[in-house]
Structure 1
Amino acid sequence: MASEEELFANIDALLEEEPQLPPPAERARLREAAGITQARLALALKTSTQTVKNYENGRSEPKSPRLEAYQRLLNGWAARYSASSASATAPLAAPQPKAPDASGIPASGTPASAAPGAVEPEVAAQVRTAPDTPARPPAHSRHPEPRKANTSIDPRFPHGPLVVLDGDGSAYGVDGIVLDCPATTVPDLVEWALEESGLGAAKLNRYGKDSDPLIVLTAEAAVKLGLPERLEGPEQRRSLRLPDDHPVVKQVARAKWQLTRRGFGPWARIYRKAQGRERQCVQLAVLSWDALDERSWSGVSEMAPPDIARVLGLYAQRVITPRGSTAVCGLELMTALRPPTKPERDTETGNWVSGHNPGSLGTEPIDPAPPEATPEHPVVVDSGWTGGFLDEEAYQWVRPVDSLSDEECLLPFAVGLDLNTAFLAAAARLVVGLSAPDHFHAPTFNPKIPGSWLADLSGIEPDPRLPSPFTPDGTRPTGPAWYQTYTLAYAQELGHDVHPIEAYLRRETGAYLDPWHDRLKSAYVDTLADLGVTRDLDDARFLAAMERHKQTDPALAAVLSAIKATVKGGVGKLRERPQGRNYEDGERWPALERPTWRPDIRAAVIAKARVNMHRKLGNMAKMTGLYPLAVLSDCVVYPSPGESPLDFLPYAASGKPQPGGFRLGLSPGLAKLEGVQSMLWAVDLMERGLNPARHIKGGDAVFDEGE
């Protein structure tokens, strides 16, 4: 028998679904049977004649409260003017699609082609497909289309999550569609996006929120809307925005729209306060204002609009609709997959209220423990804390040259291995704290409790050929220091007694990042597969596929780059530092008001990633006798008798990789080739105090930089 919680969840899903309208052709038939013109209907619905035309040809769907009014009218007409061939007409009360699961994908059981609300033939007839651009054919014309994250079409968003708008009013969307956008001002564009475009994306968790429409503006489109082609100013570009007295900002205000606190910058969010459950919000991205950072979206800004739409659309399908930098997207994805609240029944009144969603970080920010904070944080400055800080960072270690043997120096090559999305691999099944920290003195160490521990590990003698697992620079600790749980647990795993002096621990814990890990892992692996790097390849074929995968399809390669940047950026955002020249230590900065400002979770991810790296280094030494030359975050360099990882990685007699060491493969945590140089080149850098792992990919080194 179903539990009360399951029944209430099912009822909630039904309540959240939008009213179902008849197919577009039936809407037009009913209106004509009533003898009402489109102009007269538009007047009654307080909208434009073009909008009514869009309702009747499937170009767009009405939003609340117009949706309910339109449905009431159609129901009345249907009762009065039923067609003689009623059996051939879709009923008004169309069967509901199954409620989405936690991934946001509708449950199976209804074929996509027969799903209620699927795009009707009339809709497809009204949507133009992208023509070949003069400069080059559309990217998808030369390559097979990648697998779709979700093959069903949400009837509320028939045209996908986003469009790229050019200066001629053509809005290029996913799957090659092109919409006509008549807007000539930003307020008009916002109205079009919400009322006529059919853009948006379904929520990723049943307790979450749908993604708002994203309109990406080319330079020509920006100028047409009254925006400057470039943003210029003395500040860093990411902090630039239009001044408050700019005509476009005034237009937005006069139309009763609002901008978020970050103003009208490269990523501008324009909204009105929600009325009931209906959100009114549109995201704009201005390409010529560097909305797409070249480091994350390599070459995308220079692509033709259809290709840009293809890249961003696939990212939206597999990760999330972009709403800022990839770092912002990484953080937003955490919240989208673990919403802070859910509806629950008030035991006193019986009403549905907003309650805490177990496993989430909640709605209120939590201050960290002093050793988990940054030196400028108010909890440090106000308390006068001098007890030190967590130093859980990624490796930046170079092996002492005098520890190299003659045999190692005579090997001809230095080969770099890179671990795929190492931080993502560390996030899998990672237990983190969800509540505020509590302070303990002389606690007994428990490797299952996340937190920060003060302990003295300086008595542990490291192998000089390996980095210490306890410090980012790989040097031996010199006294008591703060460590995250995973670091101390690894010391215990290595056979050392651990006796913490004090600790800040969290009583409520959970695998908060698990759905984040699962979605990004699928996105990463699926995109690699689309580029020809599949799970069925043996190690030699895997290396060959990785060598050419970026040339297979530049658009898909850009998606892959953005996914990797989303992982690293999202982890980094958990401890975003203050920005701006006028900041003073002790002041709160905007990031602190987010429940996702959690430096302790960032420390847990990085500590586990560093421990994973050291464990592999130690196992490699035991199995092969090989020791690394250098480590930089997720890249390690080994001396090798040949130019390939196949020349030194451990394999069993059966040909299978030995477990425990570095293994080649496409999954997060497995390795790929980063680069190959001569051993002489590597030793030369090491003697200069530079890190070969930083330069192994390109070979060039800037000898005056500090490592």
Structure 2
Amino acid sequence: MGGRPHRAPPAQARRLRPAARRTRRPVPGPGTHRPAPGRHTGDRARTADTRTPRDEGNDRARAQDRARAQARARAQARDAAQGADAEGDAEGHGEGDGEGREAPRHPCGVRPPLRERPARGRRLRGRARVGVLRRRPGPGRARQDPPALVDWTLTEARLGQPRLHRNGRDADPVLVLTPAALERYGLPTALSDEERRAGRLPDSHKAVRQLTRAGWQLTRRGFGPWARIYRPAEGARRNCVQLCVPAWNALDVREWDRKDAPVLPTMHPADLARYLGAYAERVMTPRGTAAVTGLELMTALRPPTRAEKDPATGEFKQALNDDALTQVHDVVECEVPDEHPVLKGKFARHHLRTPAEMLMEEPYDWCRPLTDEECAHRYLVAVDINMSFAAAANGLTIGLNGPTHLTGGPSFDPALPGSWLVDLSHVDLSRADTGGRPVDAGRLPNPFTPDGARPTGPAWYATPTVAYARELGFDVAPLEAYVRTRTGRYLDGWYKRLRDAYVATMADLGVTTGMTGQEFLDAMARSQQADPTMALLAGAIKATAKGGIGALRQRNRGQVPYYEPWPALARETWRPDIRAAVLANQRVGIHRKLMKTAAAAGLYPVAIGTDAIVYPSHGPSPPSMSCRTPPRADRYPAPSASASHPEWSNTRAPGPSCGPRNSSRRRAASSTSPTSSKCRFSDSAPCSL
């Protein structure tokens, strides 16, 4: 036959066919054997003349994966060395946890930018971390949908924060989604008008349906700016992930950013991770708005329950902690806002309750006309007391149980927190006990009302306000009271946590507690430019303190009709009496300082806005204020910001109605006080606020 004989294909070609269909192997972990570059394991050798562009792309991908694995191994070793000395070591965390584990892979191929925690079921240790997804990786790496992201977060990413109290629980992971990550996971980069009004994506959205099919649930807030995705807990292990979407206004500019010049929309993801990671480490993992986080911090530091072993059965059961808020108690009519269900049918429609019907403990909002002598001053210096609400909560005794109604003219007991119906209209500040030095009562606000006006009859006051009337040397005769008999200093740990966070952040900005005088003022002037990210963190910490106190009496925000219960009423931490006590303590604390300054140096404020005290001055800074004797810098810290940085103080300068007609032409300078309102006054240092 003249045809060519049949020849079998070469062995090399036969070996290449199955190799072309082979999927890429996973990245080897640290310490494992790696094949030599350009060669395959076994006998599947490939020559250079048979390589395809796809093979070269696979080799490049393998080289990149090897580099990432090596970088992750180095990061794990460095974090392990740092975490060995970290505080927060919990029971059950054995030596060597996590050693030899393969570095986690993100569903879309991006390595987690933050430190990992041990495997599930273990207690956390070390610093808190928040994950920020920012890159848009190439296609085909893995499944890219919200259920896959949640699974990866719980099984491999190991983000979170260790518990702040031994009876508490570890914080759930938080992922911050950038616009690129939103596109990757099929989420809109901006909410529509209807979605913005609803505060969530509709239930018919593809992402919500994917989560439902995968067995995940959403809270009543739905898939919104702060979405919480969870499954029922399995024993002691929680299955919950929180998503933060800044593009949907999750980080409100009034709390997390600068109102005058927002920087979060253009902030680099690395800076955003540093910002929220530092907040989580120093305060706690963000849980929503700053107010919600401040409220959650109270519960995390004083959890309501603990595990207690039953001696009869040997099993653990839930027990209540005596030093925490453990249940919802009955409310008092004078302490609740106007829309509360308990007031239904009590008053006529649009009735404005009087101080004799409602507890009106609020911060100062007061101003007065300037005198002729004060009109000669060219400046108004506003001294802002930083962290004044948190400092007012320190050492404050609050009620931990329900109210007890006292009638028949009970005697006042300053150890019982609550609300007292008493007439303080007889208190005359000109006759107050100020160490023998008289004060001009007409130039000072009244300590018992937010607007500084003198009371006209019986009114409801919190315990700190009535106790201050006694401190001034006047008798008090309550007519009625609602008090709490089980008491405690519930907010002490909350204050200390926020104080330490604020002091550490200001130290990062170059402002330390040991500075005095001009050194302190110069450091505050440089602080905004020193580190913009840490400057945002300082504002967020202050917003957490202020918002947490306000959330104790969260009002109906339109969720339900008037006189219908709204969701906040079901919380154990909905306690308007605690909020009133803190605000009363803050207001009388400011007045106590004003009295001592007026008696010692003859300095009188012309306006007070919340915690900013406005004084007339010959110069643009606090040292220019007229004093009888110079302040002692070694004992009394000087106010903190210069006139060129008014953003550090919440200043309310008096308007045209508060002074002469030419007061509108005056220039106002702003400054702030040191890290808290706990400054001291004496005759030798009357100007140190």
TM bracket, shorter-chain basis: 0.7 to 0.9
Whether 2:186 is the aligned partner of 1:226: answer: yes
In structure 2, runs of 5+ residues without a counterpart are 1-28, 35-65, 74-79, 258-262, 430-440, 672-689
In structure 2, the CA distance between the partners of 1:118 and 1:674, relative to structure 1 (3 Å rule), is: farther
Q: CA deviation at 1:664?
A: 3.1
Deviations 1:156-199 (A, max 9, x none): 579952211124159xxxxxxxxx99551111100010011121
Q: Which residue number corresponds to residue 342 of structure 2? A: 379
Q: CA deviation at 1:297?
A: 1.8
Q: Percent identity?
A: 46
In structure 2, the CA distance between the partners of 1:688 and 1:280, relative to structure 1 (3 Å rule), is: farther
CA contact (8 A) 2:130 2:273 kept: yes
Q: Map 1:425-440 to 2 at 5 A.
A: 425-440=391-406
Deviations 1:446-473 (A, max 9, x none): 1111000001112223522011000001
Structure whose alpha-carbon radius of gyration is higher:
2
In structure 2, the CA distance between the partners of 1:619 and 1:553, relative to structure 1 (3 Å rule), is: same
Partner SS state of residue 449, structure 1: coil
CA–CA distance in structure 2, aligned partners of residues 181 and 106 of structure 1: 37
**TM-score (norm. length: structure 2):** 0.74
Partner SS state of residue 331, structure 1: helix
Q: Give the AA of the match of 2:89.
A: P
Q: Map 1:603-618 to 2 at 5 A.
A: 603-618=580-595
Query: Which of the residues 455, 467, 474 maps onto 1:496?
Result: 474
Q: CA deviation at 1:405?
A: 3.0
Deviations 1:392-412 (A, max 9, x none): 00000011x1xx332221122
Q: Give the AA of the match of 1:162.
A: V
Deviations 1:494-551 (A, max 9, x none): 1111110000000111011111101100000000001000122112111111112011
In structure 2, the CA distance between the partners of 1:502 and 1:553, relative to structure 1 (3 Å rule), is: same
Q: Map 1:390-429 to 2 at 5 A.
A: 390-399=359-368, 401=369, 404-429=370-395
In structure 2, the CA distance between the partners of 1:312 and 1:169, relative to structure 1 (3 Å rule), is: farther
Q: Give the AA of the match of 2:130.
A: L
CA contact (8 A) 1:258 1:270 kept: yes
Query: Which of the residues 243, 267, 271 maps onto 2:202?
Result: 243
Q: Which residue number corresponds to residue 249 of structure 2? A: 290
Q: CA deviation at 1:558?
A: 1.0
In structure 2, the CA distance between the partners of 1:155 and 1:436, relative to structure 1 (3 Å rule), is: closer
Deviations 1:647-688 (A, max 9, x none): 2376966834777xx95369xxxx9985899xxx95746249
Q: Which residue number corresponds to residue 509 of structure 1? A: 487
CA–CA distance in structure 2, aligned partners of residues 506 and 599 of structure 1: 13
Whether 2:138 is the aligned partner of 1:165: answer: no
Q: Give the AA of the match of 2:193.
A: G
Query: Which of the residues 658, 664, 685 maps onto 1:686?
Result: 658
Q: CA deviation at 1:365?
A: 1.8
In structure 2, the CA distance between the partners of 1:609 and 1:156, relative to structure 1 (3 Å rule), is: closer
Structure 1 stretch displaced more, 643-652 or 597-606: 643-652
Q: CA deviation at 1:437?
A: 0.5
CA–CA distance in structure 1, aligned partners of residues 648 and 533 of structure 2: 27
Q: Which residue number corresponds to residue 453 of structure 1? A: 420
CA–CA distance in structure 1, aligned partners of residues 378 and 648 of structure 2: 11
Whether 2:505 is the aligned partner of 1:541: answer: no
Deviations 1:330-382 (A, max 9, x none): 011110111010112335544321101121101x2223211111111122226
**TM-score (norm. length: structure 1):** 0.72
Q: Give the AA of the match of 1:602.
A: R
Whether 2:276 is the aligned partner of 1:304: answer: no
Q: Give the AA of the match of 1:408.
A: E
CA–CA distance in structure 2, aligned partners of residues 698 and 248 of structure 1: 49
Q: Which residue number corresponds to residue 575 of structure 1? A: 553
CA–CA distance in structure 2, aligned partners of residues 460 and 690 of structure 1: 34
Q: Which residue number corresponds to residue 664 of structure 1? A: 639
In structure 2, the CA distance between the partners of 1:223 and 1:300, relative to structure 1 (3 Å rule), is: same
Deviations 1:285-309 (A, max 9, x none): 1111011111222223421111100
Whether 2:410 is the aligned partner of 1:443: answer: yes
Aligned length: 563
Q: CA deviation at 1:241?
A: 0.6
In structure 2, the CA distance between the partners of 1:444 and 1:57, relative to structure 1 (3 Å rule), is: farther
Partner SS state of residue 523, structure 1: helix
Partner SS state of residue 295, structure 1: helix
CA contact (8 A) 1:331 1:570 kept: yes
Q: Which residue number corresponds to residue 95 of structure 2? A: 116
In structure 1, runs of 5+ residues without a counterpart are 1-23, 30-52, 61-93, 109-113, 132-137, 141-147, 171-179, 700-707
Partner SS state of residue 544, structure 1: helix
In structure 2, the CA distance between the partners of 1:516 and 1:158, relative to structure 1 (3 Å rule), is: closer
Q: Give the AA of the match of 1:274.
A: A
Deviations 1:611-664 (A, max 9, x none): 1100111111011111101000110100112221112376966834777xx953
CA–CA distance in structure 2, aligned partners of residues 653 and 158 of structure 1: 47
In structure 2, the CA distance between the partners of 1:672 and 1:506, relative to structure 1 (3 Å rule), is: farther
CA contact (8 A) 1:423 1:605 kept: yes
Q: Give the AA of the match of 1:343.
A: A
CA contact (8 A) 2:30 2:102 kept: no
CA contact (8 A) 1:215 1:285 kept: yes
Q: Which residue number corresponds to residue 573 of structure 2? A: 596
Q: Which residue number corresponds to residue 389 of structure 1? A: 358
Whether 2:285 is the aligned partner of 1:321: answer: yes
CA–CA distance in structure 1, aligned partners of residues 195 and 217 of structure 2: 24
Q: CA deviation at 1:584?
A: 2.0
Partner SS state of residue 255, structure 2: coil
